[in-house]
Structure 1
């Protein structure tokens, strides 16, 4: 998952190198989400037929290919190809990696394994930004060195994967598409969880695609490392909150998550109007806590309310919704910024997210107390 966000702190450098603006940056982010959704639909059940390890190896290969294309990228179109490859890898690990972690965990540690698996998805995204920002700052090859480091990590992961137990007996007759669907027994809780998934991932998209431009053009922050730290704060807080607070009741987590996300958007508006980097970091942390709790609790509630035979179908729908939310609002924010400016667009986006988050509190009663 680290490789999927390596470009984020490098976007200002890419913009200078290739001469594109914030709209192209948000589209680059969106095509990655398209690759994730494609992998979820085409490969969501493929690991049931070919085994977990072959699918995870495929994810590593896609990620390596993405790193290579990014590292040698000399034209704008190559960035789009690399982003799609990265999305395909992330989609495979989102679906198959999560299942593999749970299957390899001892029965008495399943709750921790589930929290670690979902936190690894989000935490990996944050670590990618931190890695890219640090490597780009200390080397003279900011648009190549981060991908070389990532490629080395992928080789290590591939070797380590050889030791992972595969609990699936390959059966080619089970090859089929994993079309999204919402089983009747979980439609109520799915609808309640969808609000948090939409606003939470919309915020992730905003910080990953638009925030670097804001820091560069409004705050004058050009350092890839600083950009990486600010956006990492969001994903790091999300992962930490999911692990630390996983023992609380679902209804409590939904309330805390919605309030934290709304508060984070309030601080974001303050940071935009005051052009304050410190406030922007604070908004990242609050928003990350809210996003992490809303996403984790929604996924947990949906899997708990769905019959075991249809859980993959339901969770695929949840992830597809999340990745649509990470891309479409980000594109909208990018287009709005081109028309009314980065600050005004950020204020509008933050206010909408805050209002929707608070409205989502009305659905908290659908979750277990």
Structure 2
């Protein structure tokens, strides 16, 4: 369990490690803000492609072969970053990173659930957030205070991935191999019947909270530089760090709460945090007060992120069989990474060709709020349907289903 959780932490840590470095790359290579969001978004596209192709593979061939291969590809991505001397090389590293992460996250999550369903469910929510936070923090500190800022953090991660690959070779397999490996690599959105309604409820909220992560990851460094008039990479990575730490704390504090309690908390804090963030950007004076408001908004939004992510996983995963877990988890991550990548790329285009940083941030935040309200609507409607079904007899329940159909 500890090994699998550590791999999830290191994978998400490596994905967020470039965030504080974007300003350094931009200074060295002279690219525009839109290039930053493309580099950010191409990772999400690679993850999505890999999830669709390899997301269910570990259900057929076992968790261990998928994880060893993913760790080797992740190590190659670190080599690409270490030797990168252009935007093209940076994009190649992000593609390798994304392909590796997409293949691994479903296998890791399903493997932890195979070992212990309760602890696995908690770690599936907690580990990615701690990985995001640790990646941003470690990268920022290394870039700010240690030599070879664009290489050292990747060298450290390379060593971690090699050690983890060796450890996985000694890991006991948690599922038996079965036929259909090649068929599992054909992209499809086939869902177990038991998971369809929960995913309909969870998907809008998980899309919204990961869109929020895209806001702080892609635009956070530029917003912080504007508010604080500072070029420090530590300040640039701080918004995503605050969001991830707050989300992780929410996962710990709400780990025993029911999804009926968790999801409304997520939606309300998400909306409140984004509103505070937008007010700080739009009405602030560009000094300390607006910066404080921005980070307070990030912290409150983080509660919504953590509780929404955990609530979505707990709403869906317990309803499926062990041989369906990797596929269902991969589908949830597809929703998450579409939310992470697509709005961020659109935001980069709008920053350059639209209304600039402030207006784009306001539009992005408003879109997140609309998504959160859509999730609330779906949650309320599904709750009312459940209550109606509980109050009807079997004959009446069938009649309700026919009328709804």
Settle same-fold status: TM greater than 0.5.
yes
Contact 2:110–2:322 under 8 Å retained in 1: no
Q: Distance in 2 between matches of 1:173 and 1:194?
A: 28
Which of 137, 145, 149 matches 1:142? 149
Please state whether the residue corresponding to 2:113 is helix, strand or coil: helix
Which of 245, 257, 260 matches 1:248? 257
Are the structure 2 counterparts of residues 199 and 41 from structure 1 closer, same or farther at C-alpha, using a change threshold of 3 Å? same
Q: Distance in 1 between matches of 2:327 and 2:170?
A: 29
Contact 2:227–2:291 under 8 Å retained in 1: no
Query: Which residue is equivalent to 2:310?
Result: 296
Q: What's the offset of the Cα at 1:136?
A: 0.7
Are the structure 2 counterparts of residues 225 and 295 from structure 1 closer, same or farther at C-alpha, using a change threshold of 3 Å? same
Are the structure 2 counterparts of residues 202 and 160 from structure 1 closer, same or farther at C-alpha, using a change threshold of 3 Å? same
Contact 2:110–2:329 under 8 Å retained in 1: no
> Unaligned 5+ residue runs, structure 1?
none
1:331 aligns with 2:345: yes
Contact 2:221–2:239 under 8 Å retained in 1: no
Query: Which residue is equivalent to 1:360?
Result: 375
1:113 aligns with 2:128: no
Are the structure 2 counterparts of residues 89 and 174 from structure 1 closer, same or farther at C-alpha, using a change threshold of 3 Å? closer
Contact 1:204–1:326 under 8 Å retained in 2: yes
Are the structure 2 counterparts of residues 263 and 47 from structure 1 closer, same or farther at C-alpha, using a change threshold of 3 Å? same
Q: Which moved more, 1:185-194 or 1:264-273?
A: 185-194
Q: Distance in 2 between matches of 1:300 and 1:157?
A: 27
> Unaligned 5+ residue runs, structure 2?
1-10, 388-405
| Cα deviations by residue, 1:199-229 (Å, 9 ceiling, x for unpaired) | 1111111111111122234532322222223
Q: What's the offset of the Cα at 1:179?
A: 2.4
Contact 1:265–1:354 under 8 Å retained in 2: yes
Query: Which residue is equivalent to 1:96?
Result: 107
Contact 1:6–1:129 under 8 Å retained in 2: yes
Q: Distance in 2 between matches of 1:21 and 1:218?
A: 19
Please state whether the residue corresponding to 2:228 is helix, strand or coil: coil
TM-score, scaled relative to structure 2: 0.84
Contact 2:209–2:305 under 8 Å retained in 1: yes
Q: Which moved more, 1:167-176 or 1:34-43?
A: 167-176
1:151 aligns with 2:165: no
Q: Distance in 2 between matches of 1:230 and 1:134?
A: 15
Which of 299, 302, 316 matches 1:285? 299
1:78 aligns with 2:85: no
Are the structure 2 counterparts of residues 335 and 174 from structure 1 closer, same or farther at C-alpha, using a change threshold of 3 Å? closer
| Cα deviations by residue, 1:255-292 (Å, 9 ceiling, x for unpaired) | 10001100110111122131332222212211121012
| Cα deviations by residue, 1:1-54 (Å, 9 ceiling, x for unpaired) | 211111111111111111111111111111111111122122222223332122
Q: Distance in 2 between matches of 1:260 and 1:61?
A: 39
Q: Distance in 2 between matches of 1:149 and 1:186?
A: 39
Q: Distance in 2 between matches of 1:103 and 1:187?
A: 21
Query: How many residue pairs get matched?
Result: 365
Please state whether the residue corresponding to 2:133 is helix, strand or coil: helix
Q: Which moved more, 1:258-267 or 1:229-238?
A: 229-238
Contact 1:181–1:314 under 8 Å retained in 2: no
Query: Which residue is equivalent to 1:340?
Result: 355
1:53 aligns with 2:99: no
Contact 1:6–1:128 under 8 Å retained in 2: yes
Query: Which residue is equivalent to 1:315?
Result: 329
Q: What's the offset of the Cα at 1:363?
A: 2.8
Query: Quick check: which has more Rg, 1 or 2?
Result: 2
Q: Distance in 1 between matches of 2:222 and 2:278?
A: 16
RMSD: 2.2
Which of 245, 258, 263 matches 1:236? 245
